[in-house]
């Protein structure tokens, strides 16, 4: 068992490292109270902007909140939003793309043009536009992020569905008299799934950056919720003399992106 494990690490170091990091982060995001029992929003103005110490591992912020507690509790907020909105995006984009790729014709042309229009906005502008106009709260942020990445899931699913539609098993199902719905959902969708999942892993770090950037611009999660991007926005006026308020939420973003990027690279190089 251990020998197998060691050989897997040796063969696919990036994947193993990424998985280990992602697992650790997931545990923190699911059980933040276990790692930081102190409340993330407890204000103590008398103890504002204290440097890291044994009592406050990551120091305190401008109103005396514990930065460590905020980073730990922020994992669930930030990563939850990204994971959730990408899942929505994958669901709708994946199903629409599969249908468009299988049926072709007008529905395909129409949705293709719609996708083209969404893609013509650079992602961050689209995010800024949606959250800035309809208002910044968690639901709108998730809506914005899922719209931003919908076209890419649509495209991935569409091209996978086109490839799959040409396979004999689809023809066999057609000959056996299976309905369009049955072919789409029972036969095609499971085979399109890997392409959608790959896209999910590729897009996760990008979506995380956009989520954080919107928080940083004040258009994402609103304070006092301990979101990493929002924490960085609050820290920017203090960074010169209380750098720890900016260093740790940012490192959390870097490590999380890194974990997923490593998994993606590990999966790509199947050697």
Binding site for other proteins (CB under 8 A): 113, 116-117, 120-125, 128-130, 132-135, 205, 209, 212-213, 216-219, 232, 235-236, 239-240, 243, 246-247, 250, 253-255, 257-258, 261-262, 265
DSSP state of 167: S
Terminal alpha carbon distance of the chain = 21
Tokens read off for 254 = 């870097």
Q: Shortest distance, CB of residue 139 to other proteins, whole angstroms?
A: 13
Nearer to other proteins, 102 or 244 (CB): 244
3-class DSSP state of 37: coil
**Cβ-based neighbour number of residue 243 at 10 Å:** 13
Find out whether 97 and 154 touch, Cβ atoms under 8 Å.
yes
Instruction: Pick the closest to residue 66 from 54, 74, 76, 57 (CA basis).
Output: 57
Q: Shortest distance, CB of residue 51 to other proteins, whole angstroms?
A: 13
Q: Shortest distance, CB of residue 250 to other proteins, whole angstroms?
A: 4
Q: What are the distances in angstroms from CA 254 to CA 21, 35, 248?
A: 12, 20, 10
Q: Shortest distance, CB of residue 227 to other proteins, whole angstroms?
A: 13
Nearer to other proteins, 146 or 165 (CB): 146
Nearer to other proteins, 93 or 215 (CB): 215
Nearer to other proteins, 162 or 247 (CB): 247
DSSP state of 50: P
Nearer to other proteins, 83 or 261 (CB): 261
Nearer to other proteins, 160 or 232 (CB): 232
Q: Shortest distance, CB of residue 256 to other proteins, whole angstroms?
A: 8
Determine the Cα–Cα distance for residues 266 and 177; give it in Å rounded to an integer. Answer: 41
Helix then strand then coil, in percent of the chain rounded to 5, is 75, 0, 25
CA angle 35, 39, 45 (to 5 degrees): 130
Q: Shortest distance, CB of residue 195 to other proteins, whole angstroms?
A: 19
């Amino acid at each position: 068992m251990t020998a197998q494990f060691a050989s897997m690490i040796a063969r696919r170091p990036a994947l193993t490292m990424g998985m280990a990091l992602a697992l650790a982060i997931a545990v923190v995001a699911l059980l933040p109270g276990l790692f930081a029992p102190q409340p993330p929003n407890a204000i103590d103005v008398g103890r504002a902007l204290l440097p890291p110490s044994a009592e406050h591992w990551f120091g305190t912020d401008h109103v005396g909140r514990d930065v460590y507690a905020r980073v730990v509790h922020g994992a669930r907020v930030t990563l939850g939003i990204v994971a959730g909105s990408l899942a929505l995006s994958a669901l709708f984009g994946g199903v629409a793309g599969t249908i468009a790729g299988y049926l072709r014709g007008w529905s395909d042309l129409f949705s293709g043009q719609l996708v083209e229009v969404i893609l013509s906005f650079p992602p961050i502008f689209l995010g800024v536009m949606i959250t800035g106009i309809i208002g910044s709260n968690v639901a709108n942020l998730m809506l914005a992020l899922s719209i931003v990445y919908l076209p890419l899931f649509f495209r991935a699913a569409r091209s996978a569905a086109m490839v799959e539609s040409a396979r004999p098993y689809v023809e066999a199902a057609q000959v056996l008299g299976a309905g369009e719905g049955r072919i789409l959902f029972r036969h095609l969708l499971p085979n399109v799934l890997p392409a959608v999942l790959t896209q999910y892993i590729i897009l996760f770090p990008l979506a995380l950056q956009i989520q954080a950037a919107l928080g940083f611009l004040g258009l994402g999660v609103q304070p006092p919720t301990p979101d990493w991007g929002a924490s960085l926005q609050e820290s920017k006026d203090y960074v010169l003399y209380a750098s720890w308020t900016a260093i740790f939420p940012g490192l959390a973003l870097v490590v999380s992106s890194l974990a997923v990027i490593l998994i993606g690279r590990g999966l790509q190089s199947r050697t």
